[in-house]
Amino acid sequence: MKFTHRMNRLSAGFAVGACLLALGATCARAGEIGHYVPGLPNIRDFAVPDPGFYSAIYDYWYSTDQLNDGNGDKVSSVRVGPGPGVKVNVDVNVDLYAVSPMFIWVTDYKIAGAKYAAYIAPSFATASIGASLSTATGRGLDGNVSSHFGVGDLLVQPIWLGWSLTNWDFAVGYGVYAPIGRYNTENLTLPNGASITAEATDNIGLGFWTHQLQGAASWYPWADKRMAVAAALTYEIHSEKEDYDLTPGQDLTLNYGVSQYLPLTKDQKLLLEIGPAGYSSWQITDDTGSDAKNPNVHDEVQGIGGQLGLTYVPWLLSVNTHYFHEYSAEDRFQGEAYGVNLAKKF
């Protein structure tokens, strides 16, 4: 078998964060989650594709009824407010949808032998994991989230370099998340009379900037690249959060997977893509600032799942679906992620 196309090796890995931009922030009195969301990209998305213009649409659903503490145990109550705070019950029920269109330009220019590319990825969502966490941990209300579809934060990646060898692809990139998404705070009075600043329950943006560095490698056992073993590391550095004396801790995320193409027609114009995938994400430094509560408690999450998709070579078009089950989480939600991604080269 000989697979000569590379069209579905688009970058979503980074846009992932943009779209799930919304899936980041938590209540400023609890922990913070970064912009990058590991459950969005396709397995082969981290390698720079051939020169040309590409567009993609990433659809993402997240569902959970579980909020975990710093030990990874499910919690049914939290304390809000200054000092010992007020103990309140939480009843988490979060279902959200986010979408991120992505526009990619892979140039004919070479930098140090690497293909040079750049892209932009706006995002839109019904809610954010962050706002949901804020409701659950910062307000003393239940964690149900109503739908308020709107604009989320914007990812711009001006630097994306890719080196292609017969059996390997390597890539590095730098991007920045701009906090243009809907974000507001308000003052609340607790039953004990204390006043706190809480994030609005319909927030989608995270209220802070993020610098993102990413490195990736893909190994192909066969020169025709029918199979890919891929891994990527994403490192996030966050700025101070708006309306709070709080700078979220830095985050490190590992994506990994194995992708296999299988021809569904004799002429190999229609290909099935299938493979297992997973991710692990860790907060690696403390939150800082006077509004950081339990700054030495770091969030983390692990998920496992897989991908199934179709590529029609004559149209340079691919559609991929994926599912991830989060089997472990600390200081954050633990749930299920679903995605449908469409990509095309023009």
Q: Which CATH number belongs to the domain containing residue 301 in this structure?
A: 2.40.128.130
Q: Are 199 and 27 in contact (CB under 8 A)?
A: yes
Q: What is the pLDDT of residue 164?
A: 95
Facing residues of 302 across strands? 280, 328
In a domain, 308, yes or no: yes
Residue 92's pLDDT is 75
Q: What is each CA distance from 260 to 91, 115, 175, 306, in whole angstroms?
A: 41, 24, 29, 12
- DSSP-derived 3-state class of residue 114: strand
Q: Is residue 7 part of a domain?
A: no
Backbone angles phi, psi at 280, to 5 degrees: -140, 135
* 4 within some domain: no
Q: How many CB atoms lie under 10 A from the CB of residue 54?
A: 23
Count the domains in the chain.
1
Structure tokens at 177: 């998340």
Q: Is 211 exposed, middle or buried (0-12, 13-18, 19+ CB in 10 A)?
A: middle
Is the residue at 8 inside a domain? Answer: no
Phi and psi for 133 in degrees, rounded to 5? -65, -35
Q: Which residue has the higher pLDDT, 4 or 65?
A: 65
In a domain, 212, yes or no: yes
- Domain containing 172 equals 13-345
**pLDDT class of 96 with cuts at 50, 70, 90:** confident
In a domain, 85, yes or no: yes
DSSP state of 137: I
> Mean pLDDT across the stretch 318-344?
95
Per-residue confidence (pLDDT) for residue 117, from 0 to 100: 98
Q: Tell me: pLDDT of 97 over 80.
A: yes
What are the structure tokens assigned to 312, written together?
Answer: 């029609």
**Among candidate residues 34, 198, 56, 191, the one with its CA nearest the CA of residue 123:** 56
The pLDDT tens digits of the residues spanning 71-94 come to 999 887 666 665 656 666 667 778
199: enclosing H helix or E strand: strand 195-199
Torsion of Cα atoms, 197 then 25 then 281 then 167, to 10°? -160
* Structure tokens belonging to residue 184: 């507001």
Residue 187, Cβ density class (10 Å: 0-12 exposed, 13-18 middle, ≥19 buried): exposed
Residue 218 β-bridge partners: 169, 230
Mean of the per-residue pLDDT values for the chain?
A: 84
Question: Is 109 contained in some domain?
Answer: yes
**Residue 291: pLDDT band with limits 50, 70, 90:** confident
Rounded average pLDDT over 109-124: 96
Distance of alpha carbon 121 from alpha carbon 154, whole angstroms: 6
Could you tell me which residues come within 8 angstroms of residue 84 by beta carbon, excluding any fewer than 6 positions away?
none
Mean pLDDT of 221-231: 96
Asked whether residue 6 is assigned to any structural domain, the reply reads no
